[in-house]
Structure 1
Amino acid sequence: METDRGDRWHGELLDLDAYLTRIGHTGERAPTLAALRALHRAHVTSLPFENVDAVLGVPVLVDVESVQRKLVRGRRGGYCYEHVVLFAAALERLGFRFTAMSGRVTLGRDKILPATHALLAVTAADDDRRWLCDVGFGGGPLGPVELADGAAADFDGWRYRLARRQGADGIDQWWLHEYGPDGWVDRHTFTLNPQYAIDFVVGSHFVGTHPRSPFTKRLFVQRFTAGRHDVLDGSLRTTTLPDGTRTERKIHPAELPALLTEEFGIDLGSAALARLQDGLVPG
Structure 2
Amino acid sequence: MWSGDELDLDAYLARIGRPGGSGAAGELRPDLRTLYAVHRAHTAAITFESLDVLLGRPVALDVKSIEDKLVHGRRGGYCYEQNSLLAAALERIGFEVSGRGARNRTRGDSLLAVTHAVLVVTVEGEPWLCDAGFGYQGPREPVPLGRPGAEVQQGEWTYRVRKEEDGILVLCLLRGGVWRDLYAFSPQRYHPVDYVLLNHYSSTHPGSSFIGRVVVHLPGDGVRRALVGRELTLLHPDGLAERRVVGPDELLAVLDREFALRLPERDAAELVRMYPAGD
- TM-score of the two chains, using structure 2 as the length reference: 0.92
Letter in 2 for 1:178: L
Q: 2:235 aligns with which of 229, 234, 240?
A: 240
Of 266, 271, 275 in structure 2, the residue corresponding to residue 271 of structure 1 is 266
Worse overlay, 206-215 or 23-32: 23-32
**Corresponding residue of 2:155:** 156
Aligned-residue Cα RMSD (Å) equals 1.7
Question: Which of 23, 32, 55 matches 2:16?
Answer: 23
Compute the displacement of 1:182 (Å).
Answer: 7.0
Paired position in structure 2 for 1:13: 6
Kindly indicate whether the alpha-carbon contact (under 8 Å) linking 2:105 and 2:183 is maintained by their aligned counterparts in 1.
Answer: yes
3-state SS in 2 of match to 1:116 = strand
Tell me which amino acid in the other structure corresponds to 2:92.
R
C-alpha contact 1:62 1:81 (8 A) present in aligned 2: yes
Partner of 1:3: none
Classify the secondary structure of the residue corresponding to 2:67.
helix
Identity of aligned residues (%): 41
Distance in structure 1 (CA, Å) of the matches to 2:97 and 2:59: 24
Distance in 2, matches of 1:210 and 1:151, equals: 37
Please give the alpha-carbon distance, in whole angstroms, between the structure 2 residues aligned to 1:35 and 1:249. Answer: 38
User: Residues of 2 paired with 1:153 and 1:250: CA distance?
Assistant: 33
Measured in 2, the distance between the counterparts of 1:108 and 1:235 equals 19
Query: Aligned partner of 1:230: which letter?
Result: R
Amino acid at match of 2:28: R
**Secondary structure of the structure 1 residue equivalent to 2:254:** helix
What is aligned with 1:146? 144
Taking the aligned partners of 1:47 and 1:11, their CA distance within structure 2 comes to 18
Q: 1:255 & 1:93 partners in 2: Cα distance?
A: 40
Q: TM-score, normalised by structure 1?
A: 0.91
Match in the other structure for 1:5: none
Q: Deviations over 1:184-236 (max 9, x none)?
A: 21110101101111001111111011111010121010111212211101111
What CA distance in whole angstroms lies between the structure 1 residues aligned with 2:219 and 2:11? 21
* Residue in structure 1 matched with residue 247 of structure 2 by the alignment: 252
Q: CA deviation at 1:274?
A: 3.0
Question: 1:66-122 CA deviation, whole Å, 9 max, x = no partner?
Answer: 101000001210000000100000011011012110101111521221111111111
The answer (yes or no) to whether the contact 2:15–2:74 under 8 Å persists in 1 is no
> 1:47, 1:77 within 8 Å by CA — same for their partners in 2?
yes
Q: The residue matched to 1:217 in structure 2 has which SS?
A: coil
CA distance in 2, matches of 1:134, 1:185: 17
Please tell me the residue identity of whatever aligns with 2:49: E
Show the counterpart of 2:131: 134
Q: Secondary structure at the match of 2:74?
A: coil
Find the aligned partners of 1:25 and 1:205 in 2 and give their Cα distance. 32
Contact kept in structure 1, 2:128 and 2:143, CA below 8 Å: yes
Written as runs of structure 1 = structure 2, the 5 A alignment for 1:98-137 is 98-107=97-106, 109-124=108-123, 127-137=124-134
* 8 Å contact from structure 1 (residues 102, 191) kept in 2: yes
Does the CA-based 8 Å contact 2:176-2:237 persist in structure 1? Answer: no
Determine the C-alpha separation between the residues in 1 that align with 2:61 and 2:208.
17
What residue is the counterpart of 1:61 in the other structure? 60
Q: How far 1:260 sits from its partner (Å)?
A: 1.4
The aligned amino acid for 2:4 is G
The alpha carbon displacement at 1:157 in A equals 1.5
Q: How many residues align?
A: 270
Q: Which residue of 1 aligns with 2:192?
A: 197
User: Which residue pairs with 1:87 in the alignment?
Assistant: 86
Aligned residue number for residue 280 of structure 1: 275
Contact 1:145 / 1:152 at 8 angstroms: preserved in 2?
no
